[in-house]
């Protein structure tokens, strides 16, 4: 078994087809008639443009406008007068052949893009190299590998797939994709998800492990790949595939349906996201908004903090795409298990009990918290943004953050910058202390979201990442259940919205209890939404009261879990 990064969910079983691009040999050849050479380049540019247009139109009809944008991006690059002008100047000035001029100029641009911090800009490097190769192939008369006509049941194996190659795939014939390079957010991975082909990327040295025709089994959700597995493994994955497809099909009927229980209680079913790009999935699975945007992901995998402007753009994008649906954005929650090297945080003896989340932010107002809050306020003019403060333990923390928000609002007023004056500010209830004083919080804050991942850890005094004590880590522990119930009751009594964004919100064994307790909003990974909608619409909150009473009467986690297993579905 080989491990990689899961890029597109689902199970793929089929025969390996290794896709290798012919290595182009680009030499620096001198030309005498530079004007004719410029014309030759223009002809190739024209042809590449036409080919790209066909790919874009094909993608737009076959997959969607959004996906076609990747190819339209290539067309913009090909039309960029800076780029084409530099290539022409290079041909004329250095009296070199078009192939070499294209090589030099495009490589330079790709290097600049690749060295940028922004992941999206880095992606432009792949796009630039893709158009470079395609222009050179036209110039050299080398045909591109045609992967549109592969036999059914092919598993594409490649070092990396260029976006244009992925766009040419016919999903009816391709059962899966495995690459040695790439990441979750590479354009090929995005396209694989859009085409709904299971894919695992970043499997190191995979090309040395597989030959054409080998049987390959991949699990795009788990990020694992098998080559010529034993019959029993193959059968296990065949039945997993059937189950996956059957459930997926069945759940599609819940798209566009309201999330209302049998006794008429409307529930908000929203998604957890980490990056602005994740909103596409929220729309795909018909999420009713975002219940948790973990902003720390904007701060990760880079060498310096995102600026206020970069954050503003990210928050604005989510708010705009969700067009008035609620978007709860959590302020920076770092420390504990989430490290950000450039923040200069020292290692805490007890990271989960230390200098993290709101504690850190209130200590770093000028360089960290104010720019984030200002970006959030400015973005609130473009949609229904709500601000959420993580890891509060006492009301003073909330008051201090709220005062800062008010101070920034006044500054924005003075500067004449738009923001939502009625913006809601809520807290994550995820510490034992916050749960115990939930009644006090409920009187001041606009909403609660229960973070069961941490609430369980802090209630049970058990490190959520430590295997040795994981037997104690259960949301079904009577102490945790009492805490959850109390938080919901306090919110309901004060008339504020109460949601849950910890993993428990999508647990089929927990959903009936949460409905009985009166939870208003369930936030989970987008792909879990339709299954949750199916479950919620099948229950009546009134009928569940007896279930909740019984669950609450048990003394041990095991008894609660055994009882709730009957609801596991
Ligand atoms: C939680 O603690 O339940 C939560 C949703 O936040 P995180 O997992 O990011 O700590
Ligand atoms: Mg948490």
User: 116-137 pLDDT, tens per residue?
Assistant: 877 777 778 888 998 999 999 9
**Which helix (H) or strand (E) segment is 524 a member of?**
strand 521-525
Ligand 1 pocket, residue 178 CB under 6 Å: no
Residue 169 is given by DSSP the state -
388 pLDDT higher than 90? yes
Mean pLDDT of 44-51: 94
Here the tokens at position 121 are: 């800009």
Are β-strands 268-273 and 5-8 bridged in parallel, bridged antiparallel, or unpaired? unpaired
Mean pLDDT of 86-94: 96
What confidence score (pLDDT) does residue 412 get?
98
Mean pLDDT of 100-120: 88
Atom of ligand 1 nearest to the CA of 453: 3
45 pLDDT higher than 90? yes
| Distance (Å) from CA 548 to ligand 2 centroid | 25
Residues 6+ apart with CB under 8 A from 568: 508, 509
**Cα four-point dihedral sign 9, 14, 15, 21:** negative
| Distance (Å) from CA 420 to ligand 1 centroid | 26
Ligand 1 pocket, residue 452 CB under 6 Å: yes
Highest averaged pLDDT of the listed ranges 23-32, 174-183, 424-433: 424-433
Instruction: Determine the Cα–Cα distance for residues 45 and 24; give it in Å rounded to an integer.
Output: 18
What confidence score (pLDDT) does residue 185 get?
61
Ligand 1, pocket-test mutation among 270, 328, 390, 393, most atoms within 8 A of CB: 390
Ligand 1, pocket-test mutation among 272, 429, 430, most atoms within 8 A of CB: 430
Alpha helices in 394-444 (DSSP H): 395-415, 432-436, 438-444
| Distance (Å) from CA 274 to ligand 2 centroid | 13
Mean pLDDT over each residue of the chain, to the nearest integer: 92
Is CATH 2.30.40.10 what the domain over 34-140 is classified as, yes or no?
Answer: no
Ligand 1 pocket, residue 451 CB under 6 Å: yes
Atom of ligand 1 nearest to the CA of 296: 9
Ligand 1, pocket-test mutation among 294, 356, 358, 456, most atoms within 8 A of CB: 294
% of the chain residues with pLDDT over 70: 99
| Distance (Å) from CA 528 to ligand 2 centroid | 19
What confidence score (pLDDT) does residue 301 get?
67
Which of 30-44, 52-66, 80-94, 429-443 has the weakest average pLDDT?
52-66
pLDDT tens readout for residues 239-265: 999 998 898 899 999 999 999 999 999
Atom of ligand 1 nearest to the CA of 333: 9
Atom of ligand 1 nearest to the CA of 457: 2
Domain ranges of the chain: 2-21+146-230, 34-140, 262-568
Instruction: Determine the Cα–Cα distance for residues 539 and 27; give it in Å rounded to an integer.
Output: 69
Ligand 1, pocket-test mutation among 451, 465, 473, 507, most atoms within 8 A of CB: 451
pLDDT tens readout for residues 19-29: 887 778 899 99
| Distance (Å) from CA 431 to ligand 2 centroid | 9
Highest averaged pLDDT of the listed ranges 106-110, 134-138, 429-433, 470-474: 429-433
pLDDT tens readout for residues 291-342: 999 999 899 867 889 999 999 999 999 999 999 999 999 999 998 767 787 8
pTM for this model (two decimals): 0.69
Nearest to 117 by CA among 298, 278, 277: 298
Indicate left, alpha or beta for 324 from its phi (over 0: left) and psi (-120 to 50: alpha). left
How far, in Å, are 121, 286, 290, 476 from residue 514 at the CA level? Answer: 42, 21, 19, 12
Ligand 1 pocket, residue 454 CB under 6 Å: yes
Which are the catalytic amino acids?
187, 501
Mean pLDDT of 75-88: 93
Atom of ligand 1 nearest to the CA of 390: 6
Within 13 Å, how many C-alpha atoms sit on residue 145's CB side? 20
Q: Are 290 and 298 in contact (CB under 8 A)?
A: no
Instruction: Determine the Cα–Cα distance for residues 430 and 451; give it in Å rounded to an integer.
Output: 5
Instruction: Determine the Cα–Cα distance for residues 309 and 84; give it in Å rounded to an integer.
Output: 31
| Distance (Å) from CA 514 to ligand 1 centroid | 17
**Torsion angle, alpha carbons of 235, 237, 242, 245, to 10:** -170
What confidence score (pLDDT) does residue 166 get?
76
218 pLDDT higher than 90? yes
Q: What is the Cα 373 distance to its own chain's centre?
A: 22
Which of 4-13, 310-319, 372-381 has the weakest average pLDDT?
4-13
Ligand 1 pocket, residue 294 CB under 6 Å: yes
165 pLDDT higher than 90? no
Closest Cα to atom 6 of ligand 1: 451
Ligand 1 pocket, residue 499 CB under 6 Å: no
- Can you name the CATH fold of 2-21+146-230? Glucose Oxidase; domain 1 (3.50.30)
What confidence score (pLDDT) does residue 569 get?
63
Atom of ligand 1 nearest to the CA of 292: 5
What confidence score (pLDDT) does residue 349 get?
84
Q: Identify any residues that bridge with 219 across adjacent strands, giving them in sequence order.
A: 11, 224
Ligand 1 pocket, residue 453 CB under 6 Å: yes
**CATH architecture of the domain with range 262-568:** Alpha-Beta Barrel (3.20)
Within 13 Å, how many C-alpha atoms sit on residue 38's CB side? 15
Closest Cα to atom 5 of ligand 1: 502
What confidence score (pLDDT) does residue 63 get?
72
Which of 15-29, 86-100, 177-191, 259-273 has the weakest average pLDDT?
177-191
Instruction: Determine the Cα–Cα distance for residues 217 and 178; give it in Å rounded to an integer.
Output: 10
């Amino acid at each position: 078994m080989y491990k990689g990064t899961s890029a597109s969910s689902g199970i793929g079983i089929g025969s390996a087809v290794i896709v290798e691009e012919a290595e182009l040999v680009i030499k620096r050849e001198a030309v005498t008639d530079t004007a004719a050479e410029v014309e030759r380049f223009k002809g190739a540019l024209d042809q590449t443009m036409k080919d790209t247009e066909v790919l874009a139109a094909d993608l737009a009809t076959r997959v969607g406008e959004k996906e076609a944008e990747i190819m339209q991006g290539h067309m913009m690059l090909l039309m960029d007068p800076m780029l084409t002008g530099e290539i022409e100047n290079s041909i004329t000035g250095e009296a070199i052949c078009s192939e070499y001029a294209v090589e030099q100029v495009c490589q330079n641009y790709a290097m600049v893009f690749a060295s940028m911090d922004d992941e999206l800009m880095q992606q432009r490097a792949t796009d630039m190299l893709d158009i470079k190769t395609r222009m050179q192939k036209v110039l050299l008369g080398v045909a591109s590998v045609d992967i549109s006509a592969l036999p059914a049941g092919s598993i594409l194996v490649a070092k990396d797939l260029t976006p244009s190659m992925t766009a040419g795939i016919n999903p009816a014939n391709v059962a899966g994709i495995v690459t040695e390079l790439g990441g979750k957010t590479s354009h090929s991975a995005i396209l694989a998800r859009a085409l709904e082909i299971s894919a695992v990327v970043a499997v190191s040295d995979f090309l040395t492990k597989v030959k054409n025709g080998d049987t390959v089994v991949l699990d795009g959700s788990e990020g694992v790949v098998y080559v010529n597995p034993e019959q029993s493994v193959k059968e296990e994955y065949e039945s997993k595939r059937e189950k996956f497809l059957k459930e997926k099909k069945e759940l599609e009927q819940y798209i566009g349906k309201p999330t209302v229980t049998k006794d008429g209680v409307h529930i908000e079913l929203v998604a957890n996201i980490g990056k602005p790009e994740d909103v596409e999935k929220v729309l795909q699975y018909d999420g009713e908004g975002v219940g948790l945007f973990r902003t720390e992901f904007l701060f990760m995998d880079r060498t310096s903090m995102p600026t206020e402007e970069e954050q503003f753009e990210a928050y604005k994008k989510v708010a705009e795409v969700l067009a008035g649906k609620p978007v709860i954005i959590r302020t920076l929650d770092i420390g504990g298990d989430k490290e950000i090297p450039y923040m200069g945080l020292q290692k805490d003896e007890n990271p989960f009990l230390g200098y993290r989340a709101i504690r850190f932010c209130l200590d770093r107002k000028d360089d960290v918290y104010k720019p984030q809050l200002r970006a959030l306020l400015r973005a609130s003019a473009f949609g229904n943004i709500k601000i959420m403060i993580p890891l509060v333990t006492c009301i003073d923390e909330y008051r201090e953050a709220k005062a800062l928000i008010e101070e920034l609002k006044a500054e924005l007023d003075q500067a004449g910058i738009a923001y939502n004056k009625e913006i809601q500010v809520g807290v994550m209830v995820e510490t034992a202390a916050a749960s115990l004083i939930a009644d006090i919080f409920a009187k001041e804050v606009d909403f609660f979201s229960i973070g069961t991942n941490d609430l369980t850890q802090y209630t049970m005094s058990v490190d959520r990442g430590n295997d040795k004590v994981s037997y104690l880590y259960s949301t079904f522990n009577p102490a945790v259940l009492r805490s959850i119930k109390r938080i919901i009751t306090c919110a309901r009594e004060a008339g504020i919205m109460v949601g849950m964004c910890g993993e428990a919100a999508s647990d089929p064994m927990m959903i009936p209890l949460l409905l009985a307790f009166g939870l208003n909003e369930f936030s989970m990974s987008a792909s879990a939404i339709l299954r949750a909608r199916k479950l919620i619409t099948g229950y009546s909150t009134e009928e569940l009261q007896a279930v909740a009473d019984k669950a609450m009467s048990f003394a041990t986690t095991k008894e609660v879990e055994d009882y709730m297993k009957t609801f596991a579905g």
